[in-house]
Homo-oligomer: A and B are copies of this chain.
Amino acid sequence: MGVYIQVLEGLLLQEQQVISSEKLAEQCEVNPSQIRKDLAYFGEFGVRGVGYYVSDLLKAIKYFLGIDRNWNCILVGVGNLGRALLRHQQLAQKGFQIQMAFDCDPFKIGERVAGHEVICTRRLKEKAQQMQIDIGLISTPPERAQRAANHMMQAGIKGIVNFAPTRINVSQDVIVDYVDFSNHLISMAFRLSHP
């Protein structure tokens, strides 16, 4: 589904107003029926004989996915990856604004990164509860990921995206999503080895 958004945003920039499932499928590298099935799932957005109106379709997809609004995020672990994420303006443009950044390293606390003052992790609960935080991003070393998750749960955060390559245990009302780049490299290694 993310691909559709990516390609449709591109079409919008090129000021293309209408696209057929066939053309969209080509750009997304999927089957046209796949696209029609996916889109039909949440409404009738196409016009027979014409195709889909790019702008309307984008709005519909975003509404369906729940990204027609802003989501408040915090980040724990201001290291190499954490800094990159804080400086990555596109996240905010897509509606995922990192509101605060935490670290436990006294040398990092107080430092400013991309307009954020790095705050001590011990103050996470207090700080995060002042604002309604929806999503927590973990970019600590793997052995600290569980601790970061615990802090987030104590602050009532219900969605955690974990960039550290380790599983974490959470109460069952919390949703965890794991991001692991190395999986992509592994997949690449596999595909290159089995031509």
Contact = CB atoms under 8 A, between A and B. Distances in A.
A188 to B, nearest CB: 5
Nearest to A73: B185
Contacts of A10: 166
Contact of A65 (B96, B134, B190): B190
Contacts of A2: 180, 182-183, 186
A91 B189 contact: no
Nearest to A1: B186
Interface residues on A, range: 35 or more
Given A83-B80, A179-B181, A67 B166 contact: no
A80 B192 CA distance: 28
A161 B185 contact: yes
Contact of A189 (B71, B181, B184): B71
A194 B80 CA distance: 33
A116 interface: no
B80 A87 contact: yes
Contacts of A81: 84, 88
A75 interface: no
